[in-house]
Copies of this chain bind each other. A is one copy, B any other.
């Protein structure tokens, strides 16, 4: 058994995924060829198939990793007040998405390029994340700190609003990420508050 530790596969594997993520985000899954990914890695196209079964798996793995990280990183404290939990969700979502714009972009734009099996798996994970927010909203409705007619709609509305940040915000501009977090939190807080 030779070449286990220090073998190139420990290096090339992650680089394949990184190159694919970068290119898929910039130009789209369908518009990027395996040869382009290989060129970005500095390798011939055939070598990619040591690290992925096919192009579809490469896309699916990127999306799955992203959503796994999302679900695993978000921590909700059910003993806190609904308002505190919601604020934490808002700030977490904005920050997490801002830190990985490529992965976010792919997860939202390339759903239709998944096979139906893979699509179902990804959708289930996305649904699980939405459920985390809906649980917070429901808790607030129950104890009277929130007032929304339909927690499912409010969940989708809040997530759409927050995810939109990554379509325009770039660090180094007029506003800091903290400014943006604070501003979105004010809007969300008021949107679900009792009138």
A residues neighboring B (CB under 8 Å): 26-28, 30-31, 109, 112-113, 148-150, 153-154, 156-161, 163-164, 167-168, 175, 180, 182-184, 186-188, 190-193, 195
**CB < 8 Å neighbour of A31 from B113, B153, B190, B192:** B113
User: Which residues in B have their C-beta under 8 angstroms from that of A193?
Assistant: 190, 195
Q: Is A156's CB under 8 angstroms from B150's CB?
A: no
Q: Is B30's CB under 8 angstroms from A28's CB?
A: yes
Q: Is A28's CB under 8 angstroms from B113's CB?
A: yes
User: Which residues in B have their C-beta under 8 angstroms from that of A30?
Assistant: 28, 30-31
**CB < 8 Å neighbour of A187 from B112, B154, B183:** B154
CB distance from A191 to the nearest CB of B (A): 4
Q: Is B157's CB under 8 angstroms from A167's CB?
A: no
Chain B: which residue is nearest A186 at the CB level?
B149
> Other CB < 8 Å A-B pairs besides A153-B184, A160-B161, A186-B195, 11 of them?
A26-B112, A28-B30, A30-B31, A148-B187, A149-B183, A149-B186, A153-B180, A156-B164, A187-B191, A188-B191, A190-B191
User: Which residues in B have their C-beta under 8 angstroms from that of A190?
Assistant: 190-193, 195
User: Which residues in B have their C-beta under 8 angstroms from that of A180?
Assistant: 153
CB distance from A58 to the nearest CB of B (A): 16
User: Which residues in B have their C-beta under 8 angstroms from that of A186?
Assistant: 149, 195
Chain B: which residue is nearest A161 at the CB level?
B161
User: Which residues in B have their C-beta under 8 angstroms from that of A192?
Assistant: 187, 190
Chain B: which residue is nearest A160 at the CB level?
B164
* CA distance in complex: A142, B186 (Å): 19
* CA distance in complex: A187, B146 (Å): 11
Can you show 20 pairs from A to B with CB atoms below 8 A apart?
A28-B112, A30-B30, A30-B31, A109-B109, A149-B182, A149-B183, A153-B184, A157-B164, A157-B184, A157-B187, A158-B161, A160-B160, A160-B161, A160-B163, A161-B161, A186-B195, A187-B191, A190-B191, A190-B192, A191-B191
